[in-house]
Structure 1
């Protein structure tokens, strides 16, 4: 979970608003099956990220959500490669990357799925058991308290292996840039009345909020 209460509420608000926008689009938008599935996946992602920021969310299983978002990644890869995504392949690839980043975050939260993670954290017991839940004693993660217990405050935790830190940095910077880009797109569409009739300004703003929330969540893991 996220240790800072104010930041936790900011992230929750970003993702809840994003989920609400996706649901409103789903209710009155494109009814094609591919569009419906894609919107539902974004709703699930936004809600999962909001839950992840809270103490009770840290006690939930991580393996099943990780597999779910890996499958969601494959869905967006397939849709992006199909003719229905012609002209929007960059956006499709970005959505696939978001789902992959979600799977990666759950893998990191698990504490023992990734190579060298348990030993680097100085927790020999982390390799035992197979509950698939996040938050193991000794996994002291910078900026985040994954366990919701006093064990997470143990300063003996070693954080992450270098390759995990590197990928978390990449994700943080990528989604920070994406948040700025989508916000710029939103402002540009709002200024252009002709574009506003064909684009969905709130949908674009939703993407900016989701990217900002992702950047914050990865940022506190650094």
Structure 2
């Protein structure tokens, strides 16, 4: 097992996925490839990649996790705000999917934190009135996690389809597909540990 919630094998594979997407976006920023919201997208990936790696390899630290939750929630709002100023269905869909990806990240951080600590304390209430609060919360968290993983997978499929249709942004769309697909896989693998 890795120090995080997943076995070492999937953790190594996902490390490659998130490192590649983060380094590609770092290269884009360093070379001045993006402009405006594209730069925000690149910075978002640059910040998200090490956050995913921390989640993969280290137990959650509540202080750091709450800072990350605030950061990615704020970036999600930036993308949702960009929806109103985007031109065309493709640009709006891209903004929506990046906002959704950030909310998916917020969910993963939250369940990673509660999966390691909060659920154990909830299970301590099982004796109250003969109710299984911990089991109910675990089921609810699992169902929502599978739903978020499914939405992330659909997002990855959309980016991959766009990569196949686009000539000018093929590598960038593949990067987005890789990152969201990796998130979907990681969340799906996390669910049994919650």
Query: What is aligned with 1:45?
Result: 48
Q: TM-score, normalised by structure 1?
A: 0.69
Unmatched tracts of structure 1, length 5 or more: 125-156, 190-194
CA distance 1:166–1:120, shift in 2 (3 Å) = farther
Q: How does 1:1-222 map to 2 (within 5 A)?
A: 1-30=4-33, 32-54=35-57, 56-59=58-61, 61-82=64-85, 85-87=86-88, 88-111=91-114, 118=119, 121-123=122-124, 158=135, 160-186=137-163, 188-189=164-165, 195-196=166-167, 199-222=168-191
Query: What is the Cα-based RMSD across aligned positions, in Å?
Result: 2.5
Q: TM-score, normalised by structure 2?
A: 0.78
Contact 2:60/2:113 (<8 A) preserved = no
CA distance 1:97–1:52, shift in 2 (3 Å) = same
CA distance 1:178–1:31, shift in 2 (3 Å) = closer
Residues 109-164 of structure 1: per-residue CA shift (max 9 Å, x gap): 2229xxxx54774146xxxxxxxxxxxxxxxxxxxxxxxxxxxxxxxx85943332
Runs of 4+ in structure 1 over 4 Å off? 157-160
Q: Count how many residue pairs are aligned between Structure 1 and Structure 2.
A: 175
Contact 2:153/2:180 (<8 A) preserved = yes
CA distance 1:7–1:121, shift in 2 (3 Å) = farther
